[in-house]
Structure 1
Amino acid sequence: MEIILSNSSSKPIYEQITTQIKGMIMSNELKTGDALPSMRSLAKSLHISVITAQHAYEDLQRDGFIETIAGKGTFVAAQNKDFIREEELRNAEEKLQEAADIARRSGISLSELVQILTLLYKEV
């Protein structure tokens, strides 16, 4: 599991970790039952404080992405497909909101924006 942190990002470090681990789980790079490094191990490998790693793991656990079993470790939780879809939909909405804001500021019409999105969507 490779996590890349950016000091120049506006996102806090724990959020960068959370986002990347969620992405690995949603893309199936990390599968249900896969073990994650301990908080101390993660902190050591990323050169961050254990408190930052703990914050990331707490967020992931709260959101249902991971589960911690006392004495055994932290693992990727069994995912509810509806939950994953909802998370992805929320992510897409954020990106589309950003695109809509740029289009409004730049004078790009809604029909042009829809046309661009349609082309990008069908490109794959």
Structure 2
Amino acid sequence: MAPEVARATDRIVVSRGRVRIDDLAFQVGWSRRRLWSRFRSQIGCSPKRAAKLVRFNPAAHHLAMGTSAARVAPEGGYADQSHLHREVRAFTGVTPAILAGDPGLAVDGTAWAGQGPFVQDRRP
């Protein structure tokens, strides 16, 4: 993997998917077009798609743990609840409410509880 692609990937992960792709290209010293081309050939998706996936992963787990979409959206880096809804539908084909009932994602509750920007509300 090219060092620039590795740096771009690290920056996406460190920012939890909240990095502008133009800024990312500037940080690695490449044009946006070159970053997209090299990133796609070496990672298998565009840097924007990778950033969306990095942002989506914890959001999906928190929805499955019972955190409300209204809370997940702003804390997960989404502009609003409808933005979160669109990405949930795009990645999973289901609504956030249906995703919230997915027992497969909820098993990671121990790994996610009390970490990151989301803190699970433990009230009954």
- Would you call these one fold, judging by a TM-score over 0.5? no
TM class, shorter-chain normalised?
under 0.3
**TM-score (norm: length of structure 2):** 0.28
**TM-score (norm: length of structure 1):** 0.28
When you count strand as a share of all residues, which structure comes out higher?
1
